[in-house]
Amino acid sequence: MSKGLCVVLVEDSYETVEFHYPRLRLEEAGYTVKAVGPQAKKVYQSKEGYWGTSDAVFSDINPAEVKALVAEALPECNKLVHDAAEAGAVVGFICHGAWVPISAKVVKGKKVTSHPAVQDDLVNAGAEWVDEPCVVDGKLVSAQLPKDLPAFMKAILNLLE
């Protein structure tokens, strides 16, 4: 019995472990997980050439059904991320994934972190950037690097359960 729908974004050149850890971890926790990208049923390749298969495109997903959404890659998903956040989904982003919620306009006034390279973009978008491995503000969860995945997923699951 699934606990509900979670979405993990995927596109070419995704970060291998930042995609697969959340995907597998949410499934382990009992959620139905869909990898969502610009095309459905496509095998995307990570930076190192590891597979990552999409289950659906952005428009296939009803934002109101999304319990949690994890943005690692950089797809054209602004509407889905924005609408899922508005509908109350937990939204997580790690590393350079921060560019997704910036464009989806869900970081203004929020305390967040990211890979340091994205710090200025978050500040310019109106967020408060802090240098911590993992930051939670409301239902927005952000983290810096692959090593922070355990704290990142623990925070997301804490908000879900």
**Which residues are designated catalytic?**
96
Query: Which residue, 47 or 108, is less far from a second copy as judged by CB?
Result: 47
* Size of residue set near a second copy by CB under 8 A: 18
Report 48-77 residues binding a second copy (CB under 8 A).
Answer: 48-50
**In this complex, which beta carbon is closest to a second copy, that of residue 122 or of residue 134?**
134
Helical segments of the chain, H only: 16-28, 78-86, 99-103, 119-124, 149-160
Q: Residues near 131 by Cβ (< 8 Å), separated by ≥ 6?
A: 113, 116
3, 13, 24, 76: residue in contact with a second copy (rule CB under 8 A): 24
Contact pick of 21, 93, 99, 129 for a second copy (by CB under 8 A): 21
Contact assessment for residue 147 and residue 153, using Cβ atoms and an 8 Å cutoff:
no
The whole-angstrom separation of Cα 77 and Cα 133 is 25
* Residue range at the interface with a second copy (CB under 8 A); choices 21-29, 62-70, 95-103, 113-121: 21-29
Shortest distance (Å) from residue 28 CB to a second copy: 4
Contact (Cβ atoms closer than 8 angstroms) between residue 118 and residue 98: yes
Question: Which residue shows structure tokens 């459905």?
Answer: 40
Binding site for a second copy (CB under 8 A): 16-17, 20-21, 24-25, 27-28, 46, 48-50, 146, 149-151, 153-154
